[in-house]
Amino acid sequence: MLKDPGTGEMRLFDFENIITQIPEIKEFGYHFQSVSFDPPIDSSDMDLPTWVRIAETIEAQYHSFDGFVVLHGTDTMAYTASAMSFMLDNLTKPVIFTGAQLPIGTLRTDGKENLITAIEIAAASENGMPLVPEVCIYFESKLSRGNRTTKVNAEHFNAFQSPNYPYLAKAGVHLVYNREFINYSGTASPLVVHKDFDNHIAILKLFPGMHPGYMDAILGTEGLKAVILETYGAGNAPTGTWFLRRIKKAVDQGIIILDVTQCSMGSVELGRYDTSKHLLRAGVISGYDITTEAATTKLMTLLAMNIPSSEIKILLNKSLKGEITLL
């Protein structure tokens, strides 16, 4: 984004001349190529076709470059990074998302450092192998796994956190990599890009005093296949008959219900308290410590695979791309 000096409004920035805007990039000595989508979009307008375009761009250039940096607005960056982690199978190269809280073109922009360091991380290797061969977000001196990241701040530069998984690297005077937490399980198999999504899902966030009609409206959505149930604490929910009856009906109708905690840190532990045992008995699936962003994109990816619901439930309780910590 750029700030219009006349109106003060934010407008989209053309990244074709990015090396001119940030000449320090030349100092790396890397072979650098930029690709801009036409027309560019604000991240609030992110959609499924654009996710496919990003993945296809990486796929088309996969063998020509050592790593990839994706410049993305902050509002939906965690969703896109999560989606890429599930879309790009057999990934063995870095895909680093970054952006800025203050637009490039403003004097105090954080975008300059974010981009420079993201490029350095994307190109980093040791013994001919990439140091971070997975989908990540780099922001405000921290590198985190993409599907473990969530936006927590709209005001300050430290916009993102990885609340339930250690940062993969931190940038200070030196770039320090936490290699024990980086996923090096990629194989020599060719890159496979999953380009299909099924968005017949919904997010049902619980709150005290929730009207039963609110649940009915969401659970009664035509074609609904899965619900992310944002519960309290370690996966707790109301114990009233009115609530349980609706949950049980949805499960019996074949709707997958994934329990994700509203807390920014911690994990769902179904059955730990009496206020979650009824969910477990009703057939609700534990989301463990998955973020809502990762839960959303994981579900849309799995539902598009046309596999039985029973298999999807098993995969939801497996860490496919390092998105959950199994207890």
pTM of the model: 0.92
pLDDT in tens, 59-101: 999 999 999 999 998 999 999 999 999 999 999 999 999 987 7
**Cβ burial, residue 253 (10 Å; 0-12/13-18/19+):** exposed
2-193 under CATH 3.40.50.1170, yes or no: yes
Instruction: Say if 2-193 and 201-316 have the same CATH topology.
Output: yes
Distance CA 83, CA 234 (A): 25
Per the listing, tokens 């490039």 go with 104
98-115 core/surface letters (b: 16 or more CB in 10 A; e: else): bbbbebbbeeebbbbbbb
Neighbours of 214 (CB within 10 A): 13
SS3 151: strand
Eight-class DSSP state of 269:
-
Eight-class DSSP state of 190:
P
Q: Which residues contact 85 (CB under 8 A, 6 or more apart)?
A: 134, 135, 145, 146, 147, 294, 297, 321, 322, 323
pLDDT in tens, 231-259: 999 999 999 999 999 999 999 999 999 99
- 145 within 8 A of 54, measured Cβ to Cβ: no
227-246 core/surface letters (b: 16 or more CB in 10 A; e: else): bbbbbbbbbbbbeeeebbeb
Terminal Cα distance for the chain, rounded: 41
Write the single-letter amino acid at 2.
Answer: L
Reading the block at residue 75, the tokens are: 């509002």
99, 105, 107, 113: CA torsion to nearest 10:
30
77-87 vs 292-303: helix crossing angle, rounded to 10: 40
Distance CA 70, CA 7 (A): 28
Task: Name the residue among 316, 251, 319 with its Cα closest to residue 280.
Answer: 251
- 185 within 8 A of 132, measured Cβ to Cβ: no
- 13 within 8 A of 36, measured Cβ to Cβ: no
Q: Which residues contact 2 (CB under 8 A, 6 or more apart)?
A: 10, 11, 12, 13, 103, 104, 105
Q: Block means of pLDDT (10 residues each) for the chain, length 327 residues?
A: 44 58 77 83 93 97 96 94 97 94 68 88 94 96 97 84 96 94 87 97 97 97 98 95 97 98 94 89 96 98 96 97 91
SS3 316: helix
In the chain, domain spans: 2-193, 201-316
CATH assignment of 201-316? 3.40.50.40
Distance CA 45, CA 314 (A): 32
- Residue 107: its pLDDT value, please? 62
Reading the block at residue 101, the tokens are: 């809280």
17, 21, 26, 31: CA torsion to nearest 10:
-30
